[in-house]
Structure 1
């Protein structure tokens, strides 16, 4: 179970308010061990690279000046969030790809979680431009906590979206990781954990292809399988039945409804870390959920996931 005592917070360069830093400090204050937070920003301006009239030394000096200015700004915006019991470091680097800079920092400093503020993504933007959020969900080796600008309420609710219908060992281990995260964070925040599972709708074309197919019997059978698996999971962790839910439908719809009904402050999901065209055009459940829920999202990778940016995999 991760405790998150070495936290990387990505600064929001467009705002003085820093909800990600606020969330990191909230987690740090609930920690039973010493906690350190790195407040991180990568900056880049292509115009500095194209100034051919300047020498390389002069360009380096200009970049250093920009880094210094941003470092001073980060010290100012971090001031309201400081906590005497939490070590805060500020780091600003020059890098033309923010998500690569973030992941490189994760590997260099051994951070256990990345916390970043998020926002609504226009559908066209998320398909064509692949924002930093998407890259982190797919490629960051640590859990990624995407936060919105609101507080985690004490005595609130945390939703973990488990996939109990699968018999794959990787899915089962990911379920266990999500439940353990939900239990750990619920204990820290005096929150109530809830396990939510979605099972698929009956394919509409199957009755045409197989006239003897009974959709009601099929649906009941699938639901029964998921209910049995959910019972085994909740009993393993000693959770009562009323803190679990098995619903038919798309995972993103079931999750968003559960979050809204419970007024949850956090939803925990597993993410596959896919790449290539499927990741660009299809998007996985975690990505589809982000813009549908008005709460934070914690995305976990499956056990054994290797980031394409892992320096040891090259």
Structure 2
């Protein structure tokens, strides 16, 4: 995939099985030019900072020793994945906040995409997202691909959840970006692309408070608006009508349901990276959706997004 030639992979310190690295190699091997893949790990042990019996130089030497051991471990694990067509590197750093270390590396290395595995709960067959995942989704400037323990299948389905009801220029540009990514990935992996969107249900209290309000007519008009917007988007990219779906309901309910119905290997979502009080009180639709999706998730930011961790703004 030509747009993802410089890939940063977050290593899983708790497992010899590196699903994110496997996914990165799948992407790199599909590239039309030589790719660069960096396997990255941030480690920290508070006990090394509290050893008063050792001098600062001795503590530093111990930290370097731990970093070196972890680097050797990762190089050994990565060996089966490496080939001459890919520039490969392992980086291990000592840092107390993993997500900050990861995003700092994204900025310093100017990466095209960040890939990280998620935790899968075997009993419930669901994916559990960690606090680090949420920080990366909100603050990472490049696309974030969260992967589960499954291979991408050739000829599978992938879907992009677009916000076609918004007239915001930011959302419209993000819709275009998501559709471009959808088609690019589908072409590389011989997958079927689907554009999906959810439109809101008419609030029942409106009909009660305003007896003259025609809820059915309003709902029909709203659906027609979404269908028209979806038609315009799919025609712009020559996507067949059978590969577009517009359904009534909340995105956090509709999108996971459609992902399951389509047996999607990946869902592409747009996120504006909302942080602070707005994320607490309003919430981020992408995050509510991600909680319920049991497949790979690619989270994209709008053009011009500025991370709160951007070194130029700190």
Give 1:83's aligned residue: 83
Deviation at 1:271, TM superposition (A): 0.6
Q: Secondary structure at the match of 2:213?
A: coil
Give 1:197's aligned residue: 197
Give 1:262's aligned residue: 262
Cα distance in structure 1, aligned partners of 2:25 and 2:65: 29
Structure 1 unmatched ranges of 5 or more: none
Deviation at 1:119, TM superposition (A): 2.1
Deviation at 1:255, TM superposition (A): 1.1
> How big is the alpha-carbon RMSD for the aligned residues of Structure 1 and Structure 2?
1.7
Contact 2:202 2:215 in 1 (8 A): yes
Deviation at 1:205, TM superposition (A): 1.5
Structure 2 unmatched ranges of 5 or more: none
Check if 1:185 corresponds to 2:185: yes
1:32-61 per-residue CA deviation (whole Å, 9 max, x = no partner) reads 011000000000011111111211100000
Cα distance in structure 2, aligned partners of 1:213 and 1:307: 43
Give 1:232's aligned residue: 232
Contact 1:120 1:291 in 2 (8 A): no
Give 1:57's aligned residue: 57
Deviation at 1:90, TM superposition (A): 0.0
1:131-172 per-residue CA deviation (whole Å, 9 max, x = no partner) reads 100000000000000000101100111100001111111110
Give 2:99's aligned residue: 99
Give 1:216's aligned residue: 216
Give 1:164's aligned residue: 164
Moved more, 71-80 or 223-232: 71-80
Contact 1:42 1:93 in 2 (8 A): yes
Give 2:111's aligned residue: 111
Contact 1:268 1:298 in 2 (8 A): yes
Cα distance in structure 2, aligned partners of 1:249 and 1:284: 16
Q: Secondary structure at the match of 1:151?
A: coil
Alignment of 1:9-158 (within 5 A): 9-119=9-119, 131-158=131-158
Contact 1:99 1:136 in 2 (8 A): yes
